[in-house]
Structure 1
């Protein structure tokens, strides 16, 4: 039903990027690594992209990055942070969009609430770190491995 979004995304992406560049200059995004019981991580599946991803999105004008990840977690996954998110790493996302940077935050204490995203998220689920989905986004997989296995963060997303 939502496959049309994945079909049009490659064509709408340049328009989104052009708009972002005109309104933001460099772009800044956030992703949240939500960890449950030290064994399970939260992943989302968008309606417009393939695979499972760490939840997150862009930092709005006049918004702090930590506030942005809290907002994105609530909107996309219904996760209500019960602690200040901890910044784990900063990554250049040049391969996907020149000038883009992504900050990864970790949240261990949270409550589950209602999703507020309107048509953007297809699925939300927690996965055991030893049983992550086969179609997880490569950057998301690397960030999980770095954070939970103590590996040094790669500067590239």
Structure 2
């Protein structure tokens, strides 16, 4: 795993979309809470997704909705973004404050072993997805994703900020 990665929030279109989404969230949620997962398959490869509305490759995840537990949100997002089913233990790796997106956003990062039940075809949300060896990640993997992978691998200390 090398390189600095691409910024998660770059370009005018991305900034506008994120700004608009967080205005909606401000009205509907007191604080935003998201879940992401470092999803490894039986070969030790990481599952990443590329969304249609923001640049770069990310670990799958999404927001926790009102009345939903973090683990329910995690399972839902993994099914929706990758046709992934969790196998074995779910490990909460760390909780992060994501001040890059909003002054109210927090992200819970989990480490899980998964099995893909069917290939994930592109749609309006997910442009591409797949499993990658840690030494052969896509060139435009986000900087935050690379930082999290370094933390997971013990190459960097856990940060409190996403």
TM-score of the pair, normalised by structure 2: 0.84
Q: C-alpha deviations, 1:37-87, integer Å up to 9, x for none?
A: 363100000001111000000001111111111110100111112335211
C-alpha distance in 1, partners of 2:12/2:84?
29
C-alpha distance in 2, partners of 1:51/1:114?
20
SS of 1:132's equivalent in the other structure is: coil
Q: Which residue of 1 aligns with 2:76?
A: 71
Q: Which residue of 2 aligns with 1:156?
A: 161
In the alignment, is the contact (CA less than 8 A) between 2:82 and 2:116 conserved in 1? Answer: no
Offset of residue 14 of structure 1: 2.0
Structure 2 residues not aligned, in runs of 5+ = 1-10
Q: Which residue of 1 aligns with 2:50?
A: 45
RMSD: 2.1
Offset of residue 7 of structure 1: 7.0
SS of 1:104's equivalent in the other structure is: strand
C-alpha distance in 1, partners of 2:44/2:121?
26
In the alignment, is the contact (CA less than 8 A) between 1:58 and 1:68 conserved in 2? Answer: yes
Structure 1 residues not aligned, in runs of 5+ = 1-5
C-alpha distance in 2, partners of 1:134/1:51?
9
Q: C-alpha deviations, 1:87-117, integer Å up to 9, x for none?
A: 1111000122111000001111434236498
Alignment partner of 2:20 out of 3, 15, 18: 15
In the alignment, is the contact (CA less than 8 A) between 2:37 and 2:111 conserved in 1? Answer: yes
In the alignment, is the contact (CA less than 8 A) between 2:61 and 2:77 conserved in 1? Answer: yes
C-alpha distance in 2, partners of 1:117/1:82?
24
C-alpha distance in 1, partners of 2:120/2:23?
29
Higher relative contact order (CA 8 A, sep 6+): 2
SS of 1:134's equivalent in the other structure is: coil
Q: Which residue of 1 aligns with 2:6?
A: none
More helix by share: 1
